[in-house]
Structure formats: C-alpha cells, structure tokens
Structure 1
Amino acid sequence: MTSPTGDQYELALTSEGAHARAVITQLAAGIREYSINGIDLVEPFRVTDSPPMGAGIVLAPWPNRVRDGVWEHAGETQQLALTEPARHNAIHGLLRFTPYRELERGVEALRLGATVYPQPGYRFLLDTEVEYRLAADGLEVTHRIRNAGDGAAPVALGAHPYLRLGETPVDELVLRLSAATHIDVDERLNPVGESPVDDTEYDLRGGVPVGRLRLDDGFGGSLVVDGVVEHSLTAPDGRSVSVWGDEQFRYVQVFTPRSFPGGTAHDDSGTRLAVAVEPMTAPADALNSGAGLRWVQPGETWTARWGIRHRGIV
C-alpha cells in the first residue's frame, strides 16, 4: 500500500549515549517522526495518514497566507489558487502536496529536491532542496532555493513542526518566544499591522504554559543571539525542546489547536491540544507587504537554515 505521504526516509544517529531517529516523508519533505531515546520531540503521525493540520511540512516559496491569493508583480495582478477557501486565501506556498525526489541519502542525513514550475499567480522557475541532518543536539535543516528562471523571483520559507516532549501533557509545557512584536490580523487572519508585545497577552518572552494559549498568531522582531533565533518549550522537569533558525528566520507563527487528532502521541482516537512553532523568513501576506521577502536573482541560490534542539534529554 502506498502511503499518503509517499516514500518514508528513516534517519538514525547514536551519539553521546542518545539515539536519535527521524522519519522524513516524500510528500512536502515533511517530518513525520523525530525522537531521542524514544521520546517524541514532534507530534508523530501514522504512515497511513496525511499530515494532520500541516504537521511537519515545508512551506515554500512562501509561508502562511496571501490575502485573496492576489498580489502585484511588474504592474500586473497575480491570482494564486485559493488553497484556504474558507478564508478566501492562498496558504503555505506551492509544494504542500508535491512529492520530492531523493537527491542524496545516508544513514544520518538526507537531501530532497522539488521544482516549482511557473503557474498562474507565480510565474517563476525554482529548484528547491531540503537537507535534513541528525546531530548530537538535534535535527538540522538546510534549505536551498535556486532561481532557474530569467527574472528575479520573490521567495520566503517556513516549516510547520508541532513540538512536544514525550508524554508530558502539552498544556503543561511552557512556551517562550524571543519575539518582540505581534502581527495583528483581521477575521481572516491576514495582517493589518504589527504591534509591540510589551504589556500584552502576546508577550511570551518570559514563558507561558501552552494550556493558557489560544493562538493562530504570527510574531516578529525575534531576538538574534550569535546569529541564531530560538523559541522553546520547557517541561516541568526542566527538559526542553526548541526551534532555532539563522538570522533570516525573524518571524514565527504559533498555532495551538484543541482539535489535533489523537488522544496521546501514539493514540489515533479523539482530539487534543497541540502546539505548532513555525519558523518563517517572512510573515503572512509577504508577497504584498514585502516584509522579509527575498528576491532571488537568476542563477542565484539562496540558503537558509533552521532546526530542532533538545536539552536535558539523554
């Protein structure tokens, strides 16, 4: 039987007494499983399922939403397919349902590729690559986008991991964001402004239990320390898992659905709370605002890196 996510690529690494394991999917080059010594650090899902609520997928050549799927380029209106019809938006780029091809595979690393072909609303030709590599302290992800066309192409990147710490209830995990601004949105979750988080419910820099949060919100102004932006979840026993990105990942989306499928990490019955911490190089509607948007020149390759780290897990 063919899986809804295509071929499954298993990576493994034993280092410093810890056994890391990841399963990457052919569809959307997504992370289906990632664990340390059997402790899940992302929400796993069954090989017979599609990614629930976008779990683990790559978001390219833009993350998040484009209002009405409409933007302007070279004086012409561009109309993208409305892939979020309930809100009349285009969402999460053009590779969400694309099977990637294997470019290079090892025991602890994998490189996949997919092409974005010119199409209505996005008339650019891009060769994209995603490289996953297990390391002693986490999972490292490198994106490369080469403009194979003859005109500059607007590009942004994101990913959609749902984080967890084994069987620790998600509502007990404390979320800390290094973000100083909140992306204000309308009823369709499209940006209408950006505000400081100081003295608001959106100030998560000091940490807030996930159980108190009801978010599908973007944040910006992330603090860069030694070239890295980092957002973390911490369990009551001090163990933590974090999403980090290079200095290009200055935006993050946090999504806390109460209807994530599965009663526990490995139970397919019922629904429960989950938390997605989505690193992004640009916020929602960047094709219109230009915020964080990278214009990749013909023949140029743009590289961006992010990953998942763990602390206190052996």
Structure 2
Amino acid sequence: MRAPTGEQHVLSRASGSHQTRAIITEVAASLRELVIDGTAVTQPYPESSRPPFGDGIVLVPWPNRVEDGRWLLDGEVQQLDVTEPDRNSAIHGLLRNAPYTVAERSDDAVTLAATVFPQHGYPFLLDTTVRYELLADGLRVTHTVTNHSDAAAPVALGVHPFFRIGEVPTDDLVLTLSASSRFETDARLNPVGELATAGTRFDLSEGVPVRELQLDDAFGGLTPDADGTFSCSLTATDGRSLRVWQESDWRWVQVFTTREFPTDGGPATAIAIEPMTAPPNAFNSGLGVRWLQPGESWSTSWGVTLSGGAA
C-alpha cells in the first residue's frame, strides 16, 4: 500500500566510526526518522500513518498560526483558508499536505522542491526547496525560498520536529533554552503579549526536566552561542546531549509538550522543538516577516547534533 506521506527518501552516511541515517517524506518534506550513531533522536511515526501533531513537517510561508486566517496587505483584508477550525486559525502554512519533488539526490543528502501557488489570502507565487544533509554527528537542513510574484511577498519559515534520545524516557530528559521572553497567548493560542521569562516557570536557562513542563509556547530573545547561532538542548543522565541549532534568521523557537504522542506502547510524552524565523501571528504583527522582492531568493539553515555519552 502506498504511504500516506508518499515516497520515503532514505539517507545514510558513514564517516569513520560515525553513522547517520534519516528518512524524509515526500509529503510536507517531513523528517520522519533521524538516527545518529545508533541513537534515535526523533520521535518516529509509522510509514502507514500521517505525521501525528505535524511531526517533522516543514512550515511555509508562515509557521504557527494566523489569527482568524486574516491579515492586511496594502490595507486590504486577506482571508486565508481556516485550517484549524477549533481555534479558527490558519495554521502551519500552505505546504503541510503538499508533495515535494526531488531536485537533487545523493546517498547522504536530498533536496526537495515545492511551489506555493497564489490562493485564498496569499496572492503570491513562491518556489521553495528544503535540503537535508547528513553530517558525521547530525543533520543540517537548508531552506530556500524564491519569489516569482510581481510584488514583494511576505515569508516566514518553521519546522515541527519532535526529539528524543534513544530509549531514554522523554520525561527524564532535561531541556535547556536560554530565552529572555515568552509570548503570552489567549485561549485560542494567539499571542497577546511578550513577557520576560526571568523569575517564572518559563525560565529554562538552567535546564528543566521535561516531566515538569507543560508547554505550547513561543520563545524569543534567544541568547546566541559563540558561533553566532541560537540553540537549545535535551540532555540525558548518561551525558548524551542533543543540540538543536538555528542560524541568526531563526530568532524564535516554539516548544510543545504532549503526553498523548502515539507509540506502539500507547500514548507517551513527547517534546517538539520548533525553530521559527517569525513568531505566531507574524503576518499581523510583522515580527520576523521577510518581504522578498520579485526575483529575490532567501536561504537559511538549522540543524541537529548529538554528543557525549555512550551511543
């Protein structure tokens, strides 16, 4: 039977004593599996299933939500299709159910391409690609967007991967994220303000066990690492640490925890760490939105590494 996420692109790389393997899907270019030196670092889902909770999918031309699916363009209301009816929002962009075609392929890398055509509430034509490239210790993902419209187009990017460290219970992992602000939301998860994290339960800079977290929150004010990237980490008691890094364009991150992620053993705790180039409802706030001029292209990357401990 054909998989509901289409063709499965299996990548592998051996470099000295290191081995990395990934599975990327045709639909939504989702990261279905990533294994580094024998350690599974993503929450997988069966080939026979759609991605639960949007697991691993690419979010373009906006991440997260647009409130009521409405935004203004040159003073005129644009009405996107409402794709989250229970919250009356347009969620996770326009390619979450779209197939991607192979633009380039090797044993350890694949570049997938998809077009955003003009449609309800988004009258722009974009060509997009996402390149997954295996590294000795992880994965690099590069997104490129080109505007083929005759006017400047608003663009933001996001991804929705769920992470783990092998068979370590997710509740036992420690999340560390240095972010000075969090977006407060209303009952429909639309942002209503940006608050400081210092002195609150949302200060994750010293590390907090996942079991203590109940999050569906966007964070800003990320502290750059020495190399200029932003990052957060999950750490296991055996010393293994998963680092999710983001180039400087990715100035926000959404963290989502659930106790209902479907597994063979029943519902389980899972954590999504979602790099974003703009926060929720950015088409209305303008925060992080990149206006690509006609013919302009934009490329930017994020990635994952695993270090320490015994695989």
**What's the TM-score once normalised by structure 1's chain length?**
0.97
Deviation at residue 127 of structure 1 after TM alignment: 0.2
Query: What SS does the aligned partner of 2:23 have?
Result: strand
Asked if 1:306 corresponds to 2:307, the answer is no
Distance 2:55 2:179 in 1: 22
Deviation at residue 237 of structure 1 after TM alignment: 1.0
Distance 1:113 1:178 in 2: 33
Asked if 1:45 corresponds to 2:41, the answer is no
Deviation at residue 83 of structure 1 after TM alignment: 0.7
Asked if 1:281 corresponds to 2:277, the answer is yes
Distance 2:242 2:265 in 1: 25
Amino acid in structure 2 at the alignment position of 1:249: W
Question: Counterpart of 1:240?
Answer: 241
Matches within 5 A, 1:248-287: 248-262=249-263, 268-287=264-283
Distance 1:301 1:130 in 2: 13
Amino acid in structure 2 at the alignment position of 1:139: L
Deviation at residue 178 of structure 1 after TM alignment: 2.0
State the Cα deviation string for residues 208-237 of structure 1 (Å, max 9, x = none): 000000111110011122220111000011
Question: Counterpart of 1:36?
Answer: 36
Question: Counterpart of 1:157?
Answer: 157
Distance 1:116 1:102 in 2: 16
Compute the RMSD of aligned alpha carbons: 0.9
Query: What SS does the aligned partner of 1:53 have?
Result: helix
**What's the TM-score once normalised by structure 2's chain length?**
0.98
Question: Counterpart of 1:212?
Answer: 212
Distance 1:106 1:273 in 2: 34
Number of residue pairs matched? 309
Query: What SS does the aligned partner of 1:284 have?
Result: coil
Unaligned runs of 5+ in 2: none
Deviation at residue 37 of structure 1 after TM alignment: 3.0
Query: What SS does the aligned partner of 1:110 have?
Result: strand
Contact 2:19–2:136 at 8 Å: present in 1 too? no
Unaligned runs of 5+ in 1: 263-267
Distance 2:39 2:118 in 1: 42
Distance 1:77 1:9 in 2: 40
Deviation at residue 19 of structure 1 after TM alignment: 1.2
Query: What SS does the aligned partner of 1:44 have?
Result: coil
Asked if 1:230 corresponds to 2:226, the answer is no
Distance 2:38 2:53 in 1: 23
Distance 2:250 2:132 in 1: 17
Greater share of residues in strand? 2
Amino acid in structure 2 at the alignment position of 1:179: A
Contact 2:232–2:243 at 8 Å: present in 1 too? yes
Distance 1:201 1:61 in 2: 31
The runs of 4+ residues in structure 1 deviating greater than 3 Å are: none
Task: Give me the identity figure in percent.
Answer: 54
Contact 2:180–2:196 at 8 Å: present in 1 too? yes
Matches within 5 A, 1:39-188: 39-188=39-188
Deviation at residue 38 of structure 1 after TM alignment: 2.7
